[in-house]
Copies of this chain bind each other. A is one copy, B any other.
């Protein structure tokens, strides 16, 4: 049975929400979960629940916690017994199949690369987010692991994203798009211009440049960009959602008509959130390391944690690490170009 290590002390609502998320996950999926963190606190929390398959949840003690604002490199050196490192060690030592954390993203990314190591020939691991679109979903990467990229990194992101899309989203032949500021091949900055040229020499399902305006319509299944852009877009999306919410909360206070309208639209808003809230899709998966590592949003609550566990479970079951590794190796001749 697939066993996922979950950082019980990562995220704004830890350890409560991770523990609740683990319980939801073992009820729903044919997996077991190893909770990593202060054993007595975790046990106290677990004791509050009775209706779950107890044999499917175990605890591995970790005495330290990495704070949300701590330096990734410093915390890695100084907190060897943190829930992040202990959890990743379990994956490295094949005691667990994958790791999930809603903790300090930078710390999880750094520790994942350092503990698990990069897959052979992978230049840079890429953080892949599953983003909802009008049609269905697409993979956006990198969303914050590599802020300065070279064309070869973006090409490898495309290869890794394609494998991920096939394995996790079940898409037969994913369409790859290069995030750019214009559709024409001569549009873009130096990085995207060079990357576009490189894509054209390769035998991939590359559909060309895609603009940020259209990615949410579902024009591509795998959208590649550098981590500065990807991270900026995701956070801008959060910003728009939050001003939208603020605006309509104020409206409801000042207009009875708006209040009534909002009440009637409540189910529609709920459906909208369910469809477009990317948290719901389980966070971001670090591709290109020797093991499954999934980062959930710091604000993740039980359902989002459960969904992150689902991604790690699916990635483990589908042997995504092996598939990515062979995809990168198979394409080495192109990458030499």
Chain A interface (Cβ < 8 Å from any Cβ of B): 69, 133-134, 144, 147-148, 179, 181, 184, 188-190, 192, 211-217, 226-229, 231-233, 235-240, 242-244, 246-248, 251, 255, 257-258, 260-265, 267-268, 271-272, 275-276
* B239/A267 in contact, CB under 8 A: no
Q: Which residue of B lies closest to A258 (CB)?
A: B268
Pairs A–B under 8 Å by Cβ, sample size 7: A212-B235, A212-B236, A216-B243, A232-B232, A248-B272, A251-B271, A260-B264
Q: How far is the CA of A69 from the CA of B182 in the complex (A)?
A: 10
Taking A213-B239, A261-B262 as known contacts, 13 extra A-B pairs with beta carbons closer than 8 A to each other, sorted by chain A number, are A134-B246, A144-B181, A181-B227, A188-B228, A211-B235, A216-B239, A232-B232, A232-B233, A247-B276, A248-B268, A255-B268, A257-B268, A258-B268
CA distance A262 to B190 in the complex (A): 45
B residues less than 8 Å from A275 (CB atoms):
247
Partner of A251, one of B216, B236, B244, B268: B268
A190 partner, pick from B148, B211, B260, B268, beta carbons under 8 A: B148
Residues of B within 8 A of A192 (CB): 228
User: A212: which of B133, B233, B257 is its contact (CB, 8 Å)?
Assistant: B233
A214 and B242 alpha carbons, distance in the complex (Å): 9
Assembly stoichiometry (copies): 2
Interface of A: prevailing SS: helix
In the complex, what distance in Å separates the CA atom of A255 from the CA atom of B272? 14
Cβ–Cβ < 8 Å partners of A248 in chain B: 268, 272
**A228 with B267: CB separation less than 8 A:** no
- Chain B residues, CB < 8 A from A212: 232-233, 235-236, 239
Which of these, B69, B228, B243, B260, contacts A229 with CB under 8 Å? B228
Interchain nearest-CB distance for A148 vs B (Å): 5
